[in-house]
Amino acid sequence: MIVVMKQSHTDEDIEKVKEKAIQQGHEPLVINGVERSVVAVSGKVNDDHRAVMKLLPNVSRVIPVGKPYKLASKNYKKKNSIIQIQNLTIGGDEIAIIAGPDSAETQEQTIETAMAAKDAGSNGLRGGAFKPRTSPYSFQGLGEDGLKMLKEASEITSLPLFSEIMDAQHLSMMEKYVDVLQIGARNMQNFKLLEAVGESELPVLLKRGMSATLDELLLASEYILSRGNENVMLCERGIRTYETATRNTFDINAIPFLKQNSHLPVIADPSHATGDNTLVEPVALAAIAAGADGLLIEIHPRPEEALCDGPQALLPSELETLISKASIVAKAVGRSL
């Protein structure tokens, strides 16, 4: 951090900054400019260290120098991380398509939807059994019964299964059924849950919280990485803004920002980002053009019958069209699909 002193500072004020830096375990270096003095403080500086420094007499500003996240950063690991989930490789040249229903509703619907996802060209299956609903009166998912349906659908299609975990106590049960643990937007800062999946052998898809900054998303990933689980994928699923015309606002900037600043694969979820089946395809194509490593897409054979998120569900035929257009965009940006 750089501690910028007010013009009115005294030598005693500088001494206090130096003392505090040493007390924090850091090394201070005083730089006297013509108009101002600054103290460059090096070491493992965190938010708390900076906050305390700001309180010292005649300190004008405290400027962070490094990034707050470490293990997720490109500085820590220059080469992009590639995650292997059975036959599915995420983070390499090929774009992953993970499609499926919002939720398992019945065994027939789950299997029918998974087979349609496969036929349309998907290489991963999504589907929820534990649903984080805004209202406790809405469909909450079928729980473990839903996971059984999803696992059967995953086995029939040979597509690896992505499903949301909502409770750390469900971890060992979920590990019996799923191939990737999804952390939903509403749980991005559920730190105990992040630590729990950090102990798992399974890869994690970490969704961006609807009001989370990209630094907060990366710091959330740090909770998982620092527990030893290196297989983390980040997911941009839209954020809440003043715009009400769509369910969320897809932050296209997030994709190249995350790719530039982190080695972790980045997945785009145009379904939750838009909430509107007519907007899913154009946003999906934009995400690939921007550098996304994969798409997470909701489909349903009869969206009007869906128990959750029907308005954003594509028909299987619409997914097929999306995938054929996406492969052209992928090729244009040096990727394959």
105 near Mn ion, rule: CB under 5 A = no
Rounded to whole angstroms, how far apart are CA atoms 42 and 44?
A: 7
Distance of CA 255 to the CA centre of its chain: 10
**Phi, psi (deg, nearest 5) at residue 278:** -80, -15
Chain CA centroid to CA 105, Å: 26
Query: Could you give the CA distance from residue 233 to residue 38 in angstroms, rounded to a whole number?
Result: 39
184 sits near ligand PEP (criterion: CB under 6 A): yes
Q: Using alpha carbons only, what angle is made at residue 319 by residues 318 and 322, rounded to the nearest 5 degrees?
A: 90
Q: How far is CA 185 from CA 140, 166, 200, in A?
A: 16, 11, 20
- Pairing verdict, β 27-32 and 37-42: antiparallel
Q: At what angle do helices 277-290 and 316-332 cross, to 10 degrees?
A: 20
Check binding of 300 to ligand PEP (CB under 6 A). no
Mind giving me the DSSP string for 136-165? TTS----THHHHHHHHHHHHHHTPPEEEE-
Q: Which of 57, 132, 228, 256 binds ligand PEP (CB under 6 A)?
A: 132
* Binding flags for ligand PEP, 207-236, as an x/- string (CB under 6 A): x-----------------------------
Q: Which residues contact 9 (CB under 8 A, 6 or more apart)?
A: 37, 57, 58
Instruction: List the one residue from 3, 185, 252, 258 that touches ligand PEP (CB under 6 A).
Output: 185
* Contact status: 66 vs ligand PEP (CB under 6 A): no
Residue 91 or 303: which CB sits closer to Mn ion?
A: 303
The entry of ligand PEP, Mn ion, none that residue 132 binds, CB within 5 to 8 Å by partner kind:
ligand PEP
Q: Does 294 engage in binding with ligand PEP (CB under 6 A)?
A: no
Please check whether residue 294 is in contact with residue 96, taking contact to mean a CB–CB distance below 8 angstroms: yes
In the DSSP assignment, the letter for residue 223 is H
- Residue 185 binding target from Mn ion, ligand PEP, none, CB below 5 to 8 Å by type: ligand PEP
State the minimum distance, in angstroms, from the CB of residue 200 to ligand PEP. Answer: 18
Say how many CA atoms lie within 13 Å of 336 toward its Cβ: 4
Residue number, 128 or 316, with CB nearest to ligand PEP: 128
How near is the Cβ of 262 to ligand PEP at its closest, in Å?
19
CB of 134 to Mn ion, least distance (A): 12
Q: Which residue's Cβ has the minimum distance to ligand PEP?
A: 184
Residue 148 binding: pick among ligand PEP, Mn ion, none (C-beta 5-8 Å cut-off by kind): none
Total interface residues for ligand PEP by CB under 6 A: 9
The one among 38, 59, 85, 102 contacting Mn ion by CB under 5 A: 102
Shortest distance, CB of residue 171 to ligand PEP, whole angstroms?
18
Q: Which does 105 bind (CB under 5 to 8 A by kind): ligand PEP, Mn ion, none?
A: none
In angstroms, what is the minimal distance from the CB of 44 to ligand PEP? 32
The residues binding ligand PEP (CB under 6 A) are 102, 128, 132, 184-186, 207, 237, 272
